[in-house]
Amino acid sequence: MPPGVFLALFAAALCHGAEWTYTGQYGVQHWHKQYPYCGGVFQSPIDLQTQLMKYDPTMAPIEVWNYNLSAQEQLTLGNNGHAVKLSLPSRMRISGLPRRYSATQLHFHWGSPTVPGSEHTINGKRFAAEMHIVHFNSDKYANVSVAADKSDGLAVLAVLIEVGEFNPAFDHFLKFINGIKYRDQRVQVPAFNVRDLLPSQLDEYYRYDGSLTTPPCYPSVLWTVFRSPVTMSHRQFLSLSTALYSSRAQESVPMPLNGNYRTLQKPDHRTIMVSFLDGKGIHGSLTESPYQSPFIRKQIIQQLLSGDLGDLGDEGISQLLPKLGRKLAVSKKLANHKNRNSWNEKLSMQNTFVPSLLKHSRTSNNVNQFGFYEDNLCYVSIEEEVIHQLKRSHMGKQLVDALKDKVFPELNLRSYLDCRSNLALPTIRHLLNRRPAENTEEFENPLVKAAQGLRKGPLKHQIDPAFGIQAAVQRKTSKARVHRLPEGVEWED
């Protein structure tokens, strides 16, 4: 090969980033070598298991806006070598989330004519295919490329697909699929009512925090997976699963494009919020306050960290404070008692944008190093256990004080993000301490009022006055975490 041609191909490869596939030497199990987040936590897809679910009555039906596009408008249908992708105009959006999320594209994942290939599964059941409609946080970010690596950047609607009745909505673009048989081919197709691709009812869905399901696997996605699948005919499914190639037209050996779904990822102690309650084992409900869903809770923590507290004020801060005392139930599961060294890992928060907290556990052990189950894990229990063990030591009081200052905020933050407790005043102060001193002054008075209100309350376990407002010191700002993309790489999911 002439040197000039080789250099040109090498430069083209750099522009497209590291190669990845679903199988082989660049397959799913090797993604983390070039894309570290693919080997991290809070990844997608996951198995939506009943025991992980919690009903949230505040989750309203999904509302879509401007999905009914005019046939006079043209959309770009393309084959990127990994999936079929259809461009969407940003005036399409969804409501019901704290921010405005605008559409950017939809794409599909599927198996083969004999093997189902949805990415998400429900209690182990895999469907024939899955459609993702990708939206970005247009209130904060200019476009999807800017939003893709931000912790609050993306929201994806996922639709599970079964083989069944003919669905005319899919034929709006499937009839053009022969024009994109090979990688990098694109065609223009008339727009249509994208709402027709969704289930008829948009009020029953699963929601959790996860990631892109393709490299670079940023943990930046708020997932909404509709409970009811839609159908496409056997002929329609065959045209999707057998007519395409992941290789380019000029390549001598064509590579079929199928089986383009990522293997299931670990739930990592995440809670799956559901908008429905059908008596089939879904655990409890959330009714204590409007700040209940994991997404809302993550946004509140992000606001406390970044200083973007304009939406809180006196009343908002008071709503963050505890109503249940110090008890911090962390898990309902029984435990494997063998590995007690995992305790510190399990206390980490369910979030990636607060890097100072401990790394999240990949184990299922639920007994802490003091020997009691996490159902009873709370600050008071730890304090009493330490006092008991160190009552004869003059260092006991100092160690208990250290627990108050360090361990309690970490425990409460994790418990709050797991939707298992309210946010306590010491934790709020712990988060505010990361911000510049001059930015915290306006919140000192509301916190003082809140602390006084707590001391007057009837709770059995009151917040220690030692946690009251102290003189501000120099602090560092911590904003929403950015998951950097390797230079020259474009994300595709």
Kindly list the catalytic residues: 82
Determine the Cα–Cα distance for residues 362 and 325; give it in Å rounded to an integer.
Answer: 29
Enumerate residues 6+ apart whose C-beta is below 8 A from 448: 468, 469
| Both tokens assigned to 271 | 């809670």
* CA 123 – CA 48 distance, rounded (Å): 6
Handedness of CA 78, 80, 83, 86 (dihedral sign): negative
Whole-angstrom CA distances from 188 to 66, 93, 103, 192, 443 are: 20, 22, 18, 13, 53
Q: What is the residue-wise DSSP string for 167-211?
A: -TTTHHHHTTGGGG-STT-EEEEE--BGGGGS-S--S-EEEEEE-
Contacts of 408 (CB under 8 A, 6+ apart): 326, 379, 424, 426, 427
Phi, psi values for residue 370, rounded to 5°? -85, -5
φ/ψ of 453, rounded to 5, equals -65, -40
Angular region, 392: left φ>0, alpha ψ -120 to 50, beta rest: alpha
The CB-side HSE value for 176 (13 A sphere, CA atoms) comes to: 19
Burial degree of 10 (CB within 10 A; 0-12, 13-18, 19+): exposed
Q: Which amino acid appears at position 281 of this protein?
A: G
Closest to 298 in 3D by CA, of 207, 389, 385, 177: 207
Task: Please name the amino acid found at residue 74.
Answer: Q
Q: Which long-range contacts (CB under 8 A, 24 or more apart) does 313-318 make?
A: 313/446, 314/445, 314/446, 314/449, 317/428, 317/443, 317/446, 317/447, 317/450, 318/446, 318/449, 318/450, 318/453
Residue 379 phi/psi, 5° resolution?
-60, -40
Q: Tell me which residue of 264, 263, 232, 20 sits closest to 113, measured CA to CA.
A: 232
Could you tell me which of 159, 244, 223 has the C-alpha nearest to residue 194?
A: 159
244 close to 237: Cβ distance less than 8 angstroms: no
